[in-house]
Structure 1
Amino acid sequence: MLRGSISSICSINYPNLTLLDLSYNQFSGQLPKCWMSMPKLSILNLANNHLSGEVPQSLGPSDCLLLSLQLQSNKLFGELPSSLRNCKHLTMLDVGENQLTGNISPWIGTNLGMLKLLSLRDNEFYGTIPPEVCHLTQIQILDLSRNNISGRIPPCFNNFTFLVQQDITTPNMIPQTEFIVMRCENAFVYWKGQEKEYNKTLRLLKLIDLSNNRLVGNIPRQLSLLRGLISLNLSRNHLTGNIDSEIGQMNMLESLDLSRNQLSGEIPVGLAELSFLAVLDLSFNNLSGNIPSGTQLQGFNASVYAGNYGLCGPPLAACLAPDGLPSATDSKFDIGFYISTVLGYVLGFWGVIVTLVLNNSWKKLIFTFGTKSGTGFTGRPPP
């Protein structure tokens, strides 16, 4: 519950300070400009306050040693300072939920190649996603959601080496600086339909979120090569074309949201092969055809497919053939049920008859019982 300005830190010399965490308070006012007096600062966390103004150029001195910079959930505006390009050791840059603006600078990709987490979510960034972003080969969380980003998704996302790999490997020896970041990092991400805060398990998450922008064009087929990706959210854009038929390669995918675009064509069969898929939303597109059979896709609620008026098959209404009857694919279960029922009845009936014929004691017993009850097999009506 600490309040007031943080400018007082400029009155004290901190030559050996490596970590400064003032997050989750009620500090207000502008960011100070005396960061050059903290030459060894590695971790700066000012998230979740009421800080305003621009991010000062002094945050990125020529000898910048920052590993983690967290300014999310404040009231900062203006553009990211170009001096941050000097922070070549940054592994985490989170400035989400502010009022920052401008283009996504190409130097983010060319100069900050060590980034594992880049979050610009919920700001006012515009322009296109520069292809230089694909130089972030170590990236595991890329969140550009809730901005005004336009243009196409770069087709080079398969350069994200860490997201192409399926296995999560943990080195036997973790450098001290990396250990410090692991202990202090936390971020809010939109995961499985709701916003969640991750801290100690953040490094296990592999996520791309480009939702709520103005992206156009096809979904690049190279995205299907991200076999280690766990969550992909491209919802609420203006994407067109088909869902890539090779999406079944994304074996680790647990959450997929492509809703509220203008995607067309059929749902690829490979989508039914994603055994870890727990959250799916394809609603409000122009998808058509039969939903691929398999317990995976049929297990979702019908709302997952809402707004695609050309889609049919469980859990939606059955597909109709040109003659107006259920198609062969959709009626396969019903036909099988009826056939098995009839076969079961016939086999059961003849099983009883054969048993009676072969077993004389049963036959005599039933004949005697029928005679005594007045309905025996004598050919005569009862008295």
Structure 2
Amino acid sequence: MGMLSSLQSLHLGRNNLFGEIPASLQNCKELIALDISDNKFFGNVSMWIGERFTKMMILNLRSNKFHGFLPIELCRLTSVQILDLVDNDFFGSIPRCINNFTTMVTMSYSGVTEPSHNYLSGRILEIIGAILLVESIDFSINQLSGEILQNISRLTYLNHLSLSNNNLVGSIPLSTQLQGFDASSFTGNKLCGPPFPKSCTATVPIPDSKNAEEEEDVNKV
């Protein structure tokens, strides 16, 4: 396969392939699309994927057995439009340099139900709001924490969002498209505000007037 140096598209999804990604594949420098989803590949994602495939537009590693940290070299894929890492065993934080993906349309890092998850942690990065052309984001079933930052409302092309089943807290930023998503996009967190019926406004209990008067009399004594 490594001798196919002019190969631009490789689709091997939904087979029963296993093992690590062949190192000889890095000789296919012209690859634009690589789909090896729904197989049994394992191991770490090799650094050379980001170093060699600078023209890559589609990278689909969905539903395999990859594990470990996401290599920062992936951020060199500045032309990538679809990045699908769903249903593996990745862990660690999302690389901050994903703001290099200015042409990205689909970003999927989620896990699924047993037997396999991703375990990405940390906060939803502020720089995600810089990927202005993104249409789909799926970070569901990970271990992301903190608040949803306001700048995600800048993603005016966003038509699919799933942040469910993480450790997110606080209010959902007010913007037309975020409130337009179903509540299922945010369930399994500690979030409030539309589209949830639960308001984020803290309620302060009003003391009973009789008790308040008695307390005032005690203070005067």
TM-score w.r.t. length of structure 2: 0.84
Match of 1:220 in 2: 125
Equivalent residue of 2:7, what SS? coil
Select 1:274's aligned residue among 154, 158, 177. 177
Choose between structure 1 and 2 for higher RCO, CA contacts under 8 A separated by at least 6 residues. Answer: 2
Match of 2:2 in 1: 60
- Map 1:305-324 to 2 at 5 A: 305=196, 312-313=198-199, 321-323=203-205
Select 1:241's aligned residue among 146, 156, 165. 146
Select 1:261's aligned residue among 166, 169, 190. 166
Change (3 A) 1:227 1:279: farther
RMSD: 2.0
Match of 2:212 in 1: none
Q: How many Å apart are 1:320 and its aligned residue? A: 6.9
Q: How many Å apart are 1:322 and its aligned residue? A: 2.0
Matched, 1:162 2:103: yes
- Map 1:113-128 to 2 at 5 A: 113-128=54-69
Change (3 A) 1:320 1:278: closer
Counterpart CA distance in 1 for 2:120 and 2:47 is 18
Counterpart CA distance in 1 for 2:51 and 2:5 is 16
* Contact 2:147-2:171 within 8 A present in 1 as well: yes
Counterpart CA distance in 1 for 2:181 and 2:48 is 36
Structure 1 unaligned regions, length at least 5: 1-58, 164-205, 298-304, 306-310, 325-383
* Contact 2:132-2:155 within 8 A present in 1 as well: yes
Counterpart CA distance in 1 for 2:166 and 2:179 is 24
Change (3 A) 1:279 1:73: farther
- Matched residues, percent identical? 38
Select 2:91's aligned residue among 146, 150, 170. 150
Counterpart CA distance in 1 for 2:159 and 2:38 is 25
Task: Give the aligned residue type for 2:9.
Answer: S
Match of 2:26 in 1: 85
Counterpart CA distance in 2 for 1:108 and 1:225 is 24
Task: Give the aligned residue type for 2:205.
Answer: D
* Contact 2:102-2:130 within 8 A present in 1 as well: no
Counterpart CA distance in 1 for 2:124 and 2:190 is 15
Change (3 A) 1:211 1:261: same
Counterpart CA distance in 2 for 1:276 and 1:312 is 13
Change (3 A) 1:312 1:85: same
Q: How many Å apart are 1:232 and its aligned residue? A: 0.1
TM-score w.r.t. length of structure 1: 0.49
**Residue correspondences, number:** 199
Equivalent residue of 2:161, what SS? strand
Change (3 A) 1:154 1:322: same
Question: After the TM superposition, which segments of 4 or more aligned residues of structure 1 sit over 6 Å from their partners?
Answer: none
